[in-house]
Amino acid sequence: MKVLLTGSKGFIGTQVGNWLASKKIEFTGMDAGDSIPEDKFDIVLHFGARTLIRKSKEFPYEYFLDNMDFTLRILEKCRRDGSSIVFPTSGSVMEATNPYSLSKKQGEEWVRMYSALYGVRAYILKLFNIYGETSRKGAVYLFCNAAVNNEMAIIYGDGSHLRDYVHVGDLVKFIASIVAGEISPGSYEIGTGVGTSVEGLLRIVEKVSGRKITVEKKEYVLPEADELFARNSSLRQPLKIEEGVLRILSVLEEHGRSD
């Protein structure tokens, strides 16, 4: 088994890479801007992408290059070499109101086309809000960091919008099942199936940490969906958000903030 892992230096990519190394699975890591290796691979885990919705408004062309263009080049390699591909898309593609979501929505359409026309074995993973101990982005980290360091947390909108917070370890387990050949090609929702409001997440962090967090509310930078959570999750017994928050708080308490 030879694996190409794109986005190998990113938050998710490093976790997947650590798992591959722990299982002594041969893999090559690459990131946006690197040359695509000429070697043939059995499977490409394509996690290389820009992922910040609000930043995509500022850099639409860069998001096209690092998401859409990069994905098409990877698909061409899969077509030529007969490789399978794991392509992470986003829950936000249901309402593509920004360059990031649009790039993921169109990337998913291209993956489906390559699967239908050329027989590329494709696994499309619809990811929701992935968080973990090494992440330095996203509401879970930002709220936990605010609690530990007595900083202000920012909520965009009124905080009532529902999101699905998924620990990265559950995603890695699912990828492990794909690599092991235990899952057939297809589309899968990687979520807990539980919608937690942003305001509710804040209260969970306050409860677990035992600290009150000062909040500033701001207007949305971009329109955002009221509800984004898995309706048909493919995960089995995903980690509960309370346990995930506890893990992150423990790391931050031990090591402090690391940006």
Query: pLDDT (tens digit, 9 = 90+) per residue, 179-205?
Result: 999 999 999 999 999 999 999 999 999
CATH of domain 131-164+193-230+237-259: 3.90.25.10
CA distance 123 to 115: 10
The whole-chain average pLDDT of the chain stands at 95
Indicate the DSSP class of residue 36: P
Indicate the DSSP class of residue 236: S
CA distance 171 to 225: 23
Please tell me if the domain spanning 1-127 has the same topology as the one spanning 131-164+193-230+237-259: no
- Where does the pLDDT of residue 256 fall: very low under 50, low under 70, confident under 90, or very high at 90 and above? low
CA distance 24 to 226: 42
Tell me: the pLDDT tens digits for 86-130? 999 988 887 788 899 999 999 999 999 999 999 999 999 999 999
Give the list of residues 6+ apart from residue 17 with CB closer than 8 angstroms, or none: 5, 8, 27, 29
- Where does the pLDDT of residue 221 fall: very low under 50, low under 70, confident under 90, or very high at 90 and above? confident
Q: What are phi and psi of 224, to 5 degrees?
A: -130, 145
Where are the chain's structural domains?
A: 1-127, 131-164+193-230+237-259
With respect to CATH, is domain 1-127 assigned 3.40.50.11030?
A: no
CA distance 114 to 80: 11
Angle (CA) 188 84 235, round 5°: 25
Tell me what pLDDT residue 149 has.
Answer: 95
CA distance 29 to 36: 10
HSE, side-chain direction, 13 A CA sphere, residue 58:
7
Residue 171's CB is within 10 A of a number of other CB atoms, namely 24
Percent of the chain with pLDDT over 70: 98
Give the list of residues 6+ apart from residue 201 with CB closer than 8 angstroms, or none: 139, 140, 143, 163, 165, 241
Tell me what pLDDT residue 224 has.
Answer: 83
Indicate the DSSP class of residue 91: G
Residue 116's CB is within 10 A of a number of other CB atoms, namely 10
- The radius of gyration computed from the CA coordinates of the chain, to the nearest angstrom, equals 18
**Model pTM score:** 0.94
Contact 163, 196 (CB under 8 A): yes
